[in-house]
Amino acid sequence: MTRFDGYRLLACPLCHTVHAKANLVSFNLMAHENWSDGRSVHSLFDHRQGLRKCTGCQGFFLETEAIDQGRISSLEAEQHVAPYEVDIPAFLRRDADGERQTPADGGAALTSRQSSSWLGRLLSWRHRPAQAQAAPVLDAKPSGAADEARPRVARLQSVYDCDLATILERKDRYSDALILAARQLYWMYLNDPYRDTARGLIKQGQDPTVAYRPTELQIDNMRSLLALMEEQPADYRDTTRAELYRELGEFDRAVSLLQQYEASDREAATIMQAAAAGISAPVRIRYAHQRLS
């Protein structure tokens, strides 16, 4: 079950535009398909490695890099829609591999018991550029709103797959942690054509793994991702590194990283089995709730 409690206000570290993000207190990780490279298809929760796009400067940042501006209890949509459509975050309703868009793109109005006093407190953090950049978003009033004094805040947006190559081309502008997240998403994205081919071959009763032939671009991205993971500590499982080695055909290195995991760890066991069989293609991880299809 997915529940959330109000919204967090996060400012872009590049231009200080303020965004609203639903504050999740519980969420469902089920998906129609789970793959060994981390891709979740039709997922009920797709975190996108925490990589976000600013609606102000159109730059990119990690949620962990955003500037915390406090919390608000609710948003009020510009259009009169059902509470369910307003309250449930857009990323919990979209396809995991589809375009990342938010509902009610016209914007949302911020509700507050004190209609104007919070804005002064919100922007009084001694960064003058923040006031200039946030003003176009926060000062806009929704047409026909009952309380014209209520300002508006843009919803926090995830990155699109089509943005990833641009981020990596301009990697010197961003932190290593952001580039690591972008390369992980790019890894999954570049494997998507194989996934489409694999589904077709499985329907025909053929072995899909023989169709996997990584391009130079894929190999370069996987090598770069491994280098980033080895250079800095991060919150990732060794299964990710093992999967990268396996897809590069370095099966012994993959197996050595996986020996620390229990046999009951479905992700590690699936990658281990594929490595032992000399299979380098991304493979489906099947959990108890997923049908064999």
Q: Which residue has the higher pLDDT, 145 or 291?
A: 291
Phi and psi at 170, nearest 5°, equal -110, 35
Compute the distance between CA of residue 258 and CA of residue 251 in angstroms, rounded to an integer. Answer: 11
Compute the distance between CA of residue 21 and CA of residue 268 in angstroms, rounded to an integer. Answer: 32
Which pLDDT tens digit goes with each residue over 206-265?
999 989 999 999 999 999 999 999 887 665 678 999 999 999 999 999 999 999 888 888
Q: Is the pLDDT of residue 204 over 70?
A: yes
Closest CA to 111 of 146, 144, 83, 143: 146
Closest CA to 116 of 147, 150, 155, 71: 150
Q: What is the pLDDT of residue 292?
A: 56
Q: For residue 36, give the DSSP letter.
A: T
Whole-structure pTM value: 0.69
